[in-house]
Amino acid sequence: MKLETALYKALVAANVSEENTVAVIDALEKKMSSTSAPEANASGRHTELQAEIALLRTEMRALFYRLELRIAQLAIVMGTVIIVGLLIGFKSLR
């Protein structure tokens, strides 16, 4: 049995007028249809947020790789400076 039919029968059995019974059912249907819309919107928003998170992860991965490359470049430069410094130091000892 549908909710509206059960509610109608219950209200009529409780001696609620026909006019008020129909008004209650109409209000309930309106409320139920308006509350289901935000749920659908929330589902869409959830999907949208998942896509944004995936995009942020991709961007963070790219930044991480750039940072790794920059650290490797700095390590090479520092190693070169140290080696040149040692060579100059050894040359001055002779």
Residue 12 tokens read as: 């009529």
The residues near 25 (Cβ < 8 Å, ≥ 6 apart) are: 4, 7, 8, 11
The residues near 28 (Cβ < 8 Å, ≥ 6 apart) are: 3, 4, 7
Q: What is the DSSP letter of 17?
A: -
pLDDT by residue (tens digit) across 9-46?
877 888 878 888 788 888 888 877 776 666 667 777 88
Please determine, for residue 71, whether its predicted confidence score (pLDDT) is greater than 90.
yes
Q: What is the pTM of this model?
A: 0.46
